[in-house]
Each structure stands twice: as structure tokens, then as C-alpha cells.
Structure 1
Amino acid sequence: MDKIQLKKRSEVESRHKWAIEDLFASEEDWKKEYAQTKDLIPVISSYQGRLAESAEVLLEFYKLHDEVSLHMERVYVYAYQKYHEDTSEGKYQGYSNQAANLSVQVSSALSFMVPEILSIPEETLNFFIASNLELKKYEFAIKEIIRQKPHTLSTEMEELIANTGEMAESPESIFSMFNNADLKFPQIENENGEMVDLTHGRYISYMESSDRRVRKDAFQTLYATYKKYKNTLAATFSANVKQEAFFAKVRKYPSAMEKELDKSNIPLSVYTNLIEVVHEYMPLMHRYVALRKKLLGLTELHMYDLYTPIVTDADTKISFEEAKEMVYNGLEPLGDKYRRVLKEGFENSWIDVYENEGKRSGAYSWGAYGTHPYVLLNYQDTLDNVFTLAHEMGHALHSYHSDAALPITYAGYRIFVAEVASTCNEALLMEYLLGKTEDKKERAYLLNHFLEQFRTTIYRQTMFAEFEMITHKKSMDGEALTADTLCQIYRDLNICYFGNDIVIDPEIDMEWARIPHFYNAFYVYQYATGYSAAIALSRKILKEGQPAVEDYINKFLSGGSSDYPIELLKKAGVDMSTKEPVKQALTLFGQLLDEMEELMK
């Protein structure tokens, strides 16, 4: 039998690689900027003890802070993007380690900043801001420091914490190295009888296969491999939970969850409301699972049957060129100005398209201020991957607009709103595709895909969020997070979320072990809240047209972190401090389910 292998990085066509040279023309240029950034560390330190001297000195320091942030971001992003091109390449492992070390040194040098600003009387800070027009642009950043005063420590303690940065990232680094570089899966036999490598990137496409044997083999092979390392993975997961709890305690937060949410001034109720609303609408999820079982004609529905399209004969291969055209056309409601930038990204190598040997799994958008954004994909020719393209370009254009409108201080958007622009793109693309089909089977296929987005983005991510909430609480209560404990918690949640019409296969108990986002604690809930906000925004754009588009682009996409995330969304017309957006999204899920049930009678 023929063996299908991944290409080496050097074998990938340049037109399918991102133009990393737009960030640094050569590795020598990167090394020079690395050295320049390092040279700024003593300059930072020279301001220690001087910030209260005058508005002019405080302004000088903030300008220096911006300069250092710009250089550090460029150095860090380049090193890690080169590493992600091929995680087995020793040189770029070294670059990323150097960048991480430098980032810790810069953080350590800057650690005096917050305590020192907090030691300046508020009336003095207000006078400084009022008396210096240039300093006024930093007012929100200064006020944000004051807001977090209860959780800020002495200069010595802040420096100590900054110096623990690299150590604190160890669980995530270990998991990433294990998952992306060291972990190898056995081969499986594909639909054509060929022996093929099972990889992270190919796993989902195998799970979407119409051949049930392929789905089952991929599912069992993947989780059997993870299970071999269950104790190591549990220890790594537990170490990450413990370091999060440590920093929460040091910063005087009741829990790691509250510490993470407070970074963006998100009320704890937003997290708990999400879980409560999803539980309230859980019967819809169980109904969807029952419909899937019925339409697939199975006496037993298994976990490996969840991703295969219900309408199999509508499943077509979509090339990357076709995907770009579909996304461009689907985002017409956002206007010509938005789509000009989108086209620029498509035509000027912002995107690293295909999987290669050693390449980081998954997809993301990233970049450094002053240079266009970048998108990493591992594109497979599926509809799901078309939506991934729309999603990641949503991130990229959010970054593009914020960077263009704001100074570096406020250009980076907060994680809470990070998924809104990306999923708004997906929702608009779906409406476009649904709107142009009159074929019953194609419509059913698209409806199923839309239903799957709700399942995977609201229900699944909320299940992840609940898993995090439970495991972090257990650890805080002194319980050991062993592999068996983690598997049992995860199993119970699957039973709750999927209901009685599916077999909860024992392999799924290990799924917690392969979720990279668990190493970025209390992150995943924002996929579900972001999706809910995106559904609300897409409806406004489709209903109201240009006025809604202008609010969306000028007040939200161009808002960066110039205001709190909840407030930025309110300006665009969505209030995430209430339960309503999640309820509205799940009500739409119910309507789509009604239509699907009617269509497939």
C-alpha cells in the first residue's frame, strides 16, 4: 500500500507560505533588533524612582514603554512564528527560548512601573494628565492601573513575580513540546486503503469521513496514544492549575478564575451566566444529538459520529482558491472598504496555508504592531476549513483596524472580544451560503454545519469552561487532579451535555489531555460568549446595513483595548453583561434545529 507523508517545510511552495520576511527581511535583522531590545533594559531601569518627578518624565517613560513593547513584540512574534513553521527545528526552538527569556527580562525591568505609579497620589496623576496633552492619551492606561490597585504588590514583589514568568510557563511549554513535536500517532488506513499518517491536522478530516471505520480508527488510535501518557499529562495539567492558583493567591484574588476575568474587568457573573443559560437550553442539544442519530440511520450513535456531515452527498472538496472566493463573497455585507483589506491579505502572503512536517497544529492569527497580521492554517479541503479561513481573517482584520486606528498602547484587543470579529465573519459567510442555495440537500448540509458551529462553539466550549471551573475548584479544595479524577469529571460532563441518545465511548474520557487552551486558564468560555456576541452583531449588520457596519468597524474593530470589552460591545449594540445574547443565540439554534427537522422529514 502507498504511504502518504507530509511535506517537509522546504518542499512547500512559497506562495503557500506566509511572508515572514515582511516582519524581518533576514534572521540577521532579527538578531540586531533582539540586541537593541536588550540594550533598552538599562534605559528602562534608569526611570525607576523618577516617575513622580513631573508630567514630562512620566510621558518620557510611557513613550519608552511603547518603544520597548514594539521591539519586544516584533522579536517575540518572529521567533515563535519561525518555531511554529517547524517545531522540530532546533534553531527556532532556540530563537523562541531566547525571545521568551528576553520577554521575562523586559517584564522584570518594567516591574517597578505599576507600584510606582500607584504610589503617586491620585490628585497628582490627575494634575499631570490635565497639564500635558500628550500624556492624556495614556489616561485610560493609567486609570486601569489604579483600578487594579488592590491586586498590585510592592516593587520588590512585582520584580520577583516577573522573574518567575518563564518558570510559570513551564507546564504549557512542556505540553506544547510533547503535543506538537514529540507525540507521534500510528498510521491508519484511509477510505482508499492507503496507510496514512494520523496527525493533529488530519484528525478532524478523518472524523468527518463518510466511512465509519475510518472515523472509528482515527478516534480510537488518537486517544489510545494519549492514554499511554495519561499520568504525565495529568501531572502537567495539574501543575498548570497549581501555578494559576499560586498567582491568584499572591495577587489577593479568591480564585484563578476571578484573577483571569478581572484582567479585562469582566464580572464573574458573565462566566456563570453562560453555564446557567447553556444548561437551561441543554434539551436542544439532546434533541440535536437524537436528530443526528436518526438521520445517520444508526442504532447506536458514537462520539466518533459527531463530526461526519449528515448529508454526505453534499460534501465536496473545496480548494484553497475556492475558499478565498467564498469568504470574499460572503463578507459583502461588511462593505468594500473591509473587503479591500481582506483581498490584500489573500494576495500578499499573510497566510501560511498547508500542514507540513513539524508545523504547529491548529490555526491562529498573530502579528506585530506596524506590520500586517499573519494567519497560520493547516488547510484541508473541507467546508469547515473554509469557515476557519473566514474566522482567522476576522481576527486578522480586527488587528489591522485596531493597529491602524490606535497607538500601540491600545492596539491589542482583549481576549474577551478576540473571538467576536472572527465568528461574526463565520455567521455572515453562513448566511451568504444559505441565501444562495435552493437545493434541499445542500441547504440541509449547510444547516447541519451551522448547527455544528453552535454545538462546537457554544456547547462544547462551555463544557470546557465548566471542566476548568470544576478542576480548578477541586485543586483549591485540596483534591489531587489525577488522571482518573480528570477522566471521571470529563466523562460526567459528556453525559450531561450529550444526553441519552449517544454512546459515551470510554476513549472520550481522555479528551481533556489534548486541549491546548486549558494551559491558558479560563480562556475558552470566551469562544462561547464571543460567538453569542457575534451572532447578535451579524444580525444587526444584516438587518440595519451601513449604520450597523460603521458602528461595528469604527467603534468595535477599531477599538482595540481603548475601553473595557463589555463597553466596546455595548457601543456596537450588544450587552454581554446580561444573559440575553447567549439566550438569543441558543434560540436561533432552536430555530435552525426546527428547520432541519422539518427539511429532513
Structure 2
Amino acid sequence: MAKELLKRSEVKEENTWKLSDMYETNEAWEADLKKIDELASELEQMEGTVTASAKNLLKVCDTMAKMDQKIELAYNYAERLSDQDTKDTTHQAMVQKIMMLYAGISSRLAFIDPEILETKEEVLEGYYKEENQLEFYRKWVEEIQRLKPHRLSADQEKLLALASEVCQNPEQTFSMFNNADIQFPEILDENGEKVRISHGRFVRLLESADRRVRKDTFEQYYKTYAQFINTVASIYSGQVKQQIFRARARKYNSTLEAAVDANNVSPKVYENLVKTVNANMDKMHRYVSLRKKCLGVDELHMYDIYTPMIPDAAKKISFEEAKETVLKALAPLGEDYVNKVKEGFENRWIDVYENEGKRSGAYSAGAYGTHPFVLLNYNESLDDMFTLAHEMGHAMHSYYSNEAQPYIYSQYKIFVAEVASTCNEVLLMEYLLKNTTDKKERAYLLNHYLDSFKGTVYRQTQFAEYEMLTNKMAEDGESLTAETLNQAYLDLNKKYYGPDMVSDDEIALEWARIPHFYYNFYVYQYATGFSSAVAIAHNILKNGAPAVEQYKKFLSGGCSMAPVELLKIAGVNLEEPTAIQDALNVFGDILTEMETLV
């Protein structure tokens, strides 16, 4: 009999997040939507007079901040409800309702930024002196002015805002397809029992010591995507086209430039990552050769990439054990940090296990004024324990920023979003390595460390290069069809994994399952964040309290400074290639130790 997933209603309450910490009832949420609309109407009355006086500008800033904070809360509540069971049509409708409201408000209030941009700097300087409270909003206004070359007239901004809901459609369509509609077949597990493949089970099945299970999982999983590959190619092509539309509308030279500029980052940081990783491909090929040797296979296939190189050392880790270990590993970050993580564990910040219709993967999300919420699909593996540490890193970054910053400066830029999460992972790994004397267990942990580099630096850079390549193809007028997208991905896969890997035909379809390709050049930040985190964690372990204080200043920074400048507080300068290269050197050192152990 197949091991089917629990329905959402069957999941124990203690294993679910407590969304009532945002709104007690859906009716309270509905009431906030009305307040949001009322605040938007107040702002609409200001059209043409936003900067007519210091008093007017202050009123606009205050009302915008109040309204945006409510929108963030309302959106998070609806999205979290929907993600816990994507088949629930009531929650789908709530997400659509808040998104439609937001799109409408964006259109109604599109005049605000242009009016601020049209105001001379000397006038604004006078207003700051006249209204002392306006000084609070100076950085917010300056951020609007930074993007002045890419701002349009009020009418054009309205038109772009009206298009925003349509532009979100590819991501929404892919999410519905990938989380709610696609159904995977059953295979026989190691014990000959039927088990249905799911997103949450996919990697766990590929970690199996039974190669037949890995092969069946891999082939059946991608066979399912192959049935819909033209549809997914059309969805992804729509995503790239809307990115091109927005970039050109805002007078950027490329979609890449438009995406990174939103975070005040130069395209050179992105291009430098791809270039540096490509220059270190020999290390990745060494890793593949080591994996082939450890597994003792004549041919290494893509379905062999997740199973541990050190077989027999894998063990199940219960969620309770994972929490306990993570708390011990994070001790170098100080008592207040550890206590706050513990509070999250004990007060239902986390939705723990997979259920039918639940969104795949893992994340941390939340709104100002509430604690963060963490989604997991915990499956009792070492990877899952690292995912717990990772997502709690995100959660703590949000917590520190929200505590230290006012709402308008609380949201850290995406560019630094993966630093805190990966720092937790590195600390967990160093703790586990320090506390084992068993040679086999050490080799198993080093295997995991290598896989973290492989998965976060090399794999995410492969994704980043694919995103850069396919956007460039479309910008140059080339059609993004299933055939061209498959071929581009297969060619990259061969380059990254090298001659000792058989790049199976199915792997050409992998791009079709990656939700991050709908996040507009997001994934490169995993690699830059990982490299930064390696440096920060090693600094903390080496220098103790002073390094921890620097790190907490970074965590507390929100968006009060440019992200690259915030990282410098924590001792990392990503304007130079050294951080990426140093991380890859660590990867090489671990490889060398692993080669001597096996």
C-alpha cells in the first residue's frame, strides 16, 4: 500500500505554525483590507500636492508607511495560509484578493514617486529643516531619487502599475502547476513498498543507498515533467518576456542590470561570481571524480549526485534531536540569539512536516510587528537539520532587523538575505566536525560540507548562469522553446559536472522544476551569501565576542545602508573577488582532506 501524505486537517497542531499570531480570524484580515483601501484613498487626495509643502510630504510619508505595513501583514497571512495547502480555494482567493488590491493601489498611487522626483533637492533640504520629523524619511526619499534615471512620468508609472498583476502571472501559473496540479507516480522503495514521489520526497529518495530506487525516482520524476515541457517552456518564456518588458520600460540595458539595481548592486558582482566559479571548475570536476570513486561505479549518473559518498553513516534525525543540536551549534552567537531561536521552537513559528498540497521546499517569511514564520518539509535527514538551521538564520535576521529598525528601514535587501541563514549552517557543520572522533562519521560530515559547496556555490551559480544566458537569448530575439531551453541547460550541466559525469537526457529538463527562476535573478545571491557566511562564521569562531557584535550590527541593519556596505561591517567586501575565491579555496581544502580519508 502506498505511503500517502496526510491531509492538512490530519496534521497535529503542535507541528503547524500559529498564523493567529498575525490575525485571530479571517474577518480581522478582511477588516484590515478595508483600512488599507481607506489609507490609499487618503493618499489619492494628495495627487498634485505631494511636495507642495513640508507638511504634505510628511503626511504622505507617514500614511504610506502605515499602509505598506498593513499590506505586508495582510499579504503574509494570506500567502502562509495558501502555502500550507495550495489546494484550498478559499486561501487561493485570499491571495488573489490582496494581490489585486495591491496592484490597484500601486496604480492609484503611482503619482507619488514622480512628484518627489520632480522636486528640486534644495526644496527638499528646506523641508527637512522646516519639519524635523521629515528627517526620519530622508533615506527613503534618497532611495527614490537614486532610481531617478529609471522613473517614468506619472501616467507611465500608472500604466506600469496596471501591468504588474499581468506580469506576476507566469510565477503564479508555475506555482499552481508545480505545487497543486502536477502529480508524480509511485515507485517501489528499498523495501519493495509503494511510495508516491513528491517534491518533498524527491531528494530523500535520491539519497537512497539503493541505486535502483534512485534511478527509478529520477526517471519517473522527470518523465512527468517531460509530459508538460512545452507548457512549462511557455510559462518560463512569459516570465523572461515580462522581465524584458519591465527592464526596457525603465530604460535599463538588460534584465540583469534592472534586477540587481533594485538592491543597489552592480551587475559586475553577478558577472564576477560566474567568472570566478568558471575559473575554479577543476575543483568541481575533482569532486565528481571523488564521488565516482567513493560510490565505486563504472559510470556516475545524475541520479547519483545526492546519495552520500560515505554510505552507511547516514542516520535519521528526529525533529526534536535536530532542534537540540542546532541550539548547541549556535552557542557561539551568544545567549540572547540562542534564546530567541528556542522561543521560535517552543511557540509554533514553524510548520514542520509535508502534507497534501503543501508548498514544496522551505522558507522563512513574516511581517513587521510579528515574529517570523518558517515553512519546512522535514524528513529526518541530515540535510533537513541543516535546513532548519538555515531557515532559522533567515528568521533571526528578520527578528534583529525588525527589533532595531523602524518599519521603513527594517527589510534587508535580497542581496544579503542568504548570509545569516548560511552562517548558521557553517556553524552547525563546524560544531558537528568538532564533536566527532569517528573517522567514518567525519568523512560523512565532510561529504555534507562538500555537498553544501557543490549545491550552494556551484549549483546556484549554474542556475545563475542559465538565467543570465536565457535572458540574453530572449533579449537577442531568440525564441525560448522547450528545445532551446533543454539544450542550453544540458550544455551547462556538462560544463559544470565534467567528463566523469554522465549527463543523462532527463537532466536537460531540470530547469523546468526550479521555482527560483521566477524570482528575477535571485539565485546568485545564494552563492555570494554562502561565500560571505563562510568568512563570517570562521571569524566568529576565531575571534569570539567582538566578531559576534559586528555580526549582530549587520543583522540589525535592515536596509538602513546599501547591502554591500552592511556586509563590510561584518568584515566582508564583495566588491573584490577574494570572498568567492577564498570560499572555493576552502572547498579545495575539504576535498584534499576527503581524498586522504577515503
TM-score in terms of structure 1 length: 0.99
- Counterparts of 2:547 and 2:194, CA distance in 1: 51
Q: Provide the rounded CA distance (Å) in 1 between the counterparts of 2:204 and 2:277.
A: 28
Gaps (5+ residues) in structure 2? Answer: none
Rounded to whole Å, the distance in 2 between the matches of 1:286 and 1:410 is 43
Separation in structure 1 between the aligned mates of residue 543 and residue 130 of structure 2, nearest angstrom = 42
- SS where residue 502 of structure 2 aligns? coil
Aligned residue in 1 for 2:213? 214
Cα deviation for residue 221 of structure 1 reads 0.6
Instruction: Give SS of 1:533's match.
Output: helix
Letter matched to residue 218 of structure 1: T
Cα shift at 1:497: 0.3
Match of 1:557 in 2: 555
- Indicate the residue corresponding to 1:20 in structure 2: 19
SS state at 1:531 partner: helix
Deviation at 1:287, TM superposition (A): 0.3
Asked if the contact 1:171/1:239 (under 8 Å) is kept, the reply is: yes
Note if contact 1:267-1:577 (Cα within 8 Å) is conserved in structure 2.
no
Q: How does 1:389-468 map to 2 (within 5 A)?
A: 389-468=388-467
| 1:136 Cα deviation from its structure 2 partner | 1.2
**How far has the Cα of 1:340 moved from its partner?**
1.0
Offset at 1:56?
2.2
In structure 1, give the amino acid aligned to 2:490. R
Which aligned pairs between 1:24-173 and structure 2 lie closer than 5 A?
A: 24-173=23-172
**In structure 2, C-alpha distance between the alignment counterparts of 1:190 and 1:207, rounded to whole Å:** 11
What letter corresponds to residue 558 of structure 2 in structure 1? G
Q: Counterpart of 2:374 in 1: which secondary structure?
A: strand
Amino acid at match of 2:586: L
Structure 2 equivalent of residue 371 of structure 1: 370
Q: Which residue of 2 is the match for residue 233 of structure 1?
A: 232
Does residue 252 of structure 2 align to residue 253 of structure 1?
A: yes
Q: CA deviation at 1:53?
A: 2.2
Summarize deviations over 1:24-74 as a string: whole Å, max 9, x none: 111111111122212222111012112222222211111101110111111
2:355 and 2:439 map into 1 onto residues whose CA distance is 37
Q: How does 1:173-322 map to 2 (within 5 A)?
A: 173-322=172-321
**Percent of pairs with identical residues:** 53
Aligned length: 598
Cα deviation, residue 484, structure 1: 0.7
Equivalent position amino acid for 2:284 in 1: M
Q: CA deviation at 1:165?
A: 1.0
Runs of 5+ unmatched residues, structure 1: none
Letter in 1 for 2:146: R
Q: Which amino acid aligns with 2:576?
A: T
Hey, what's the Cα distance between the residues in 1 that align with 2:288 and 2:87?
40
Looking at structure 1, the residues matched to 549 and 570 of structure 2 have their Cα atoms a distance apart, in angstroms, of 9
Are the aligned partners of 2:104 and 2:162 in contact in 1 as well (CA < 8 Å)?
Answer: yes
Alignment of 1:589 onto 2:587: yes
Out of 547, 572, 575, the residue aligned to residue 574 of structure 1 is 572
Is the Cα–Cα contact under 8 Å of residues 22 and 371 in structure 1 kept in the other structure?
Answer: yes
Contact 1:207 1:307 in 2 (8 A): yes
CA separation in 2, counterparts of 1:132 and 1:595? 63
Q: Does the aligned pair in 1 maintain the 2:2–2:186 contact within 8 Å?
A: no
SS at match of 1:196: strand
Secondary structure of the 1:365 match is strand
Provide the secondary structure at the position in 2 that maps to 1:273.
Answer: helix
After the TM superposition, which residues 525-564 of structure 1 pair with which residues of structure 2 at under 5 Å, given as runs? 525-554=524-553, 556-564=554-562
Aligned to 1:40, what secondary structure does the other structure show?
Answer: helix
What is the Cα-based RMSD across aligned positions, in Å? 0.8
Deviations 1:278-304 (A, max 9, x none): 011110000010000001111111000
Deviation at 1:510, TM superposition (A): 0.2
The DSSP-based 3-state class of the residue aligned with 1:188 is strand
Q: What is aligned with 2:478?
A: 479
Give the Cα separation in 1 of the matches to 2:188 and 2:306: 19
1:106 CA displacement: 2.1
- When normalised by structure 2's length, the TM-score is 0.99
Give 1:356 shift. Answer: 0.4
Partner of 2:338: 339
